[in-house]
Each structure stands twice: as structure tokens, then as C-alpha cells.
Chains A and B, each alone.
Chain A
Amino acid sequence: MTTDARGTAALRAGIPGRLYVALALFAIVGPFLWILTASFKHPIAIYAGQFPFTPTLDNYADVLFGRRSDFAGNIANSLIVAASSTALVLVVGALAAYSLHRFRWPVWVSAGFLGWTLVFHMVPVLTLLGPWYVAFRELDLYDTRAALVVTHVTINLPMTVWLLRAFFREIPPEILEAAHVDGCGPFDAFRRIALPLALPGLIAAGILAFVFSWNEFPIALTLTSRVTATVPVAIARFAQQYEIQHAQMAAASVISTIPAVILMFLGQRFIVSGLTLGAVK
């Protein structure tokens, strides 16, 4: 940290700079506090704009255990889909990234694959939802978690491949050569040497893939119905009903942010490296 102080200290923020940072922090946190307080208010207190108010857990009880609410099931669906699609995308993505990095594929394969993932990553997923809907109906996979898992793996694959590729590149080729000379087969070299060395990349990609799958909305909205709906779909239902159920919507939204909050504290190092590495490299 000493070099740091010497370097950017030249940018020493004046009063306006500090004020700006304070304002930005407040602006980021404010909306979260607003919905957090709303989630503990009786609907009447929300509509009256009461402050201070008597906190209540009714909204959470209603959302999680209410007879007319499927939210507990929605959470289970989201967890299952996010966990399985993350595991799968790490396997598929790590294999592909390593393969593209280590083996000499013809340019049309490697450049074609990487370029196509890039284009697919940038195209709104809404454009492919029509054909996906038709295809999954034909396969009798409409309204199944399997359909969500496969599509979530697909949308997270570009990010995973690009991220892991950057980590595999950092591995000195000599190590893999040495393993080869010692009689270690290519798959064993991948499993025993490359994967452990790329662990920070796997964690970063895993965290991001989990979060993106947990957050994903348009695919879940169109490929699921009541039974397999995920958390974001359920929240949208609260917001879209004839009479918007503000209190439940707030409570459900707060619950939906829990994974993000946990990962923010536990995985910060990996997330920042994941987000910025993907951007800078």
C-alpha cells in the first residue's frame, strides 16, 4: 500500500471530490435501505408513507409461508438451476478454454468459436427466445428446470471461456511440458496441474455464473410457468398483478438480493478480478 500512497496520492481529492464520493455512496446505498425498510412495513404504513413505523415480519412470513405464495418453491428452483448450471458451465467452459489455449486448433475453429461466443454474448437473448421456446416445446422440455439449466449454461459460457482462457494463459508452458515429459497424459495434466493453478479463475467464473443464473429473468419468464418459475419471475408477478402487492414485492426483492450480498463480502476479490479482467484483457 505504500507505493499506492505515493502514486495516486498526487490525485489527492479536495473537498468537492470527497463530497462527490460521499454522495455516490449514499446514492448507491439509499435505494437498498428504502426497499429494506419498506419490506418491514405493513402495507398501510407503506401507503401512508409513515416514518418512523412499527416493524413487522408479516411480509416475509406472507411471501415465504403464505398459502397463496409459491415463493419457497421459487427459491428452491432458482438455487437448483443456478447451482447445476454453474457446475456445468465450469466443466464445459474450462475444457473449452484449456483446449483452445493448449492445443493447436485450426484458426477457423478457434477464432470462429471465440468470435461466435463474443457475438452471441452481445446479442440480446430475447432474439433467440422465440426459437428456444419452440424447440423446448417440441422436446417436451418446456416448463422444466432442465431447459433453464441448459440455456443458462449457454448464456454463461462465453464469459466463462474468455475468463478461464486468460487464467490458463498465465500458466507457464514449461510446467505442462515437464508433466508431459514425465509421462503425464494430456487429460491428467489438465486435471492435476492446469485446473488447480487456474483455481482463482474458476472461483471468479463460478461466482459470476451463479449470480447471473440466479438473476436471469427473460429466459425464466418465457420458458417456465407456475411450477418451475424462479425468484425473478415471482417478483415480477408481484409487480405485475392487477393490484401491485408492494409489501410482498419488497420482501421478495430483499430476499432475492441475499446471494449478491453474501458474495459481495466473501468473493469480492474474485468478482473484481472477474469483472475487470474480462473487460481489460
Chain B
Amino acid sequence: MLLNRSFRYWSLLPALLLFAALTLYPLLNLVRMSVSTVAFANGAETWTFTPLRNFAALLEDDVVRPAVVNTLVFVGVSVAIEMFLGTALAIAVAGLSRAKRLVRTVAILPILVPPVAIGSMWKLMYNYDFGIFNQAFVALGAMPVNWLGSTSVALWSVIAVDVWHWVPFVFLILFAAVEGISPDLFEAAHVDGATRRQTLRFVVLPLLRPAIVVAFLFRAILAFKVFDEVFLLTAGGPGTSTELVNLHLYKVFFEQNRLGYGAVLSLAVIAAIVAFLLVSRRVALAVASQK
């Protein structure tokens, strides 16, 4: 049969073609775009070669700086809180005698729900006039807070949503790791007279280290990809107070229609991610192999 004879060659072909057409070719196009000015007129596009223009635009763009700073704050703070709360939750749930399955079931929900729905959910809760937080604040006699409209609060409100969204993910990974620890080790610790705290500190946490590293890397990279919720909640505002790199990319490409300059930003983002991957791989290997 023909399918059989050449199977070892054609089996990889669809994936290779798809990836070449939809990732490699666009990547090359980004490079071409980054040195061009693309204009749309009457449904046709014209490319002009303007090698320096887009790079000059990068220097003149006042939004890049706040976007990068906000993104770093967003990733750093939300991932740190998620790691802490998620690990604590995994250990707490592992110590329950029942309801483990229930917690795990409920924890899956935020991960599977459309991020856009999460955005609209929290948009309702953060609403200044009738959101649940301000209703509670007013009932308690406090001043209502402008959760999404105040420059000093908005970024933290957005971070809180991300924490809510992703603590369950950290929990699921670490819970699987805690449950995977051999019962003999607990028994040995018990026989040696270790207290619960000592068991945690000297048995559980060291054994969780690889899972913690993995969860951390996953979260750091996913947090960097955030777009949907923030687009719905604040779209970067007020001012640039919740502007993130991805939001800015979207605006440059699809609101300002600056394909050339957008390509420069895209390439910078890709380069930054690859650099992060290379560095974190080394760090992760070092941390995971540390005894």
C-alpha cells in the first residue's frame, strides 16, 4: 500500500508544512515588514523600502517604556503571588482527608473558561457604581474605589484577576506532585519523629522543587502572553497605567495600522522571549539538579 511505503516521510510532512507556512514564513515577513512602510489603498497594499524609519519610530514611542515596565511588574508580581498561594493550597489540600476531588474539580474551572468571560465577570465586579466590591465598601461605610479607572489602582486590579485565574493552575501541578511523593518518605519522617512543620520543610518542599520550577516557568511565560482579560477590563487605560506589551502591539498593528513599526516591536518581543528561554533553561537546570 502506498500509504505504508512512504509513511515515515509523509507522516511529519503536514506538521512541517503547516509550521513553515504559518510561523516561519510570517517570521520572515516580519523581518521584511520591519524595514518597510506598508500602505493600504483601494484594497491593494504597497510596500516601500524605508530601512530606518521604523527603528526611529521605536525611539520616539513614549508608550514602549510604560508598557515594558507594566508588563514586568504584572508578570513579576502576579506570578510570585500565584506561586505562593498555589503551593500553599496544594499542601493544604493534600492534608485534607476528604473533598480533594471536589477542590480539584473546582480548580479546573477558571483554567478552562474563556479568558474573555473572566474579563467581563470581573468588569462587572469592579464596576464603580454597582460592582460587588464597592457595594460591600459602601455598606461598611468606606469610600468606593475606582478599581479600573484610577491610575494608581488599575494595574493592581488587573493583577488580582490574573492571580484569581492562575492560582488553580499552580495548584493542580503542585498538587499532583505532592500526591506523587512516596508514602514511605512520610512514614520515615514520622518514625524519625519529625513534626509536621519539619516534614514540610525538609521532605515535602525539597521534593517539590522540580515541580515548582516547572510551574514557575510555565506561569512566567503564560503571564507574558496575557491579553484577553486586560483588553476587556481596561484596554491599557487609564492613560498608560495598564498598558502591556501585547496590548501595545495590538494597537500599533490594528488601530494605528503601522505594520512596519509593529513588525519591529514583534521582533523585539520574540527576541526577548528567546533570550528568556535560553537563560531560564540554564537556571532551571541548575536549580532542579541542586541537591
Chain A residues engaging chain B, CB cutoff 8 angstroms: 3-13, 17-18, 20-21, 24-25, 27-29, 31-32, 34-35, 38, 46-49, 91-93, 95-96, 98-100, 102-103, 105, 109, 113, 116-120, 122-135, 137, 150-151, 153-154, 157, 161, 185-188, 190, 211, 214-215, 217-218, 222, 231-232, 235-236, 238-240, 244, 246, 249-250, 252-254, 256-257, 259-261, 263-265, 268, 271-272, 275-276, 279-280
Contacts and interface: CB of A to CB of B under 8 A. Distances in A.
Nearest to B139: A49
A239 B212 CA distance: 36
B89 interface: yes
Chain B interface, >50% SS class: helix
Contact of B114 (A13, A29, A231): A231
B183 A7 contact: yes
Interface of B: 1, 3-5, 7-8, 11-12, 14-16, 18-19, 22-23, 25-27, 29-30, 33, 38, 45, 85, 88-89, 91-97, 99, 102-125, 127, 129-130, 132, 135, 164, 167-169, 172-173, 176-179, 181-183, 185-187, 189-190, 196, 199-200, 204, 211, 214-215, 218, 221, 224-225, 227-228, 231-232, 235, 245-246, 249-250, 253-254, 259, 262-263, 266-267, 269-270, 273-274, 277
Contact of B178 (A8, A25, A235): A8
A11 B87 CA distance: 13
B109 A261 contact: yes
Contacts of B45: 134, 137
B228 A211 contact: no
Contacts of B135: 49
Given A31-B125, A264-B109, A218 B22 contact: no
B114 A235 contact: yes
Chain A interface, >50% SS class: helix
A93 B274 contact: no
B251 to A, nearest CB: 10
A134 B167 CA distance: 37
Contact of A135 (B26, B211, B214): B26
Contact of B106 (A4, A29, A129, A275): A29
A253 B26 contact: no
11 contacts: A7-B181, A32-B109, A99-B11, A124-B273, A126-B227, A135-B29, A222-B253, A232-B115, A236-B232, A260-B109, A264-B105
Given A10-B187, A92-B18, A250-B120, 4 more contacts: A93-B15, A109-B12, A257-B113, A264-B109
B8 A5 contact: no
A24 B178 CA distance: 18
A92 B231 CA distance: 32
Contacts of B19: 113, 116-117, 120, 154, 157
B8 A239 contact: no
B266 A127 contact: yes
B124 A190 contact: no
Nearest to A35: B121
B249 A6 contact: no
Contacts of A263: 112
A119 B246 contact: no
A239 B119 contact: yes
Given A20-B92, A31-B121, A124 B269 contact: yes
Given A35-B120, A268-B108, A280-B173, A96 B15 contact: yes
A25 B107 CA distance: 8
Contacts of B85: 24
Contacts of B214: 279-280
Nearest to B2: A187
A29 B112 CA distance: 14
A104 B159 CA distance: 46
A157 B15 contact: yes
Contacts of A32: 109, 121
B157 to A, nearest CB: 13
Given A10-B190, A48-B130, A217-B231, A187 B22 contact: no
A222 B254 contact: yes
Contacts of B182: 7
Contacts of A151: 22
B116 A126 contact: no
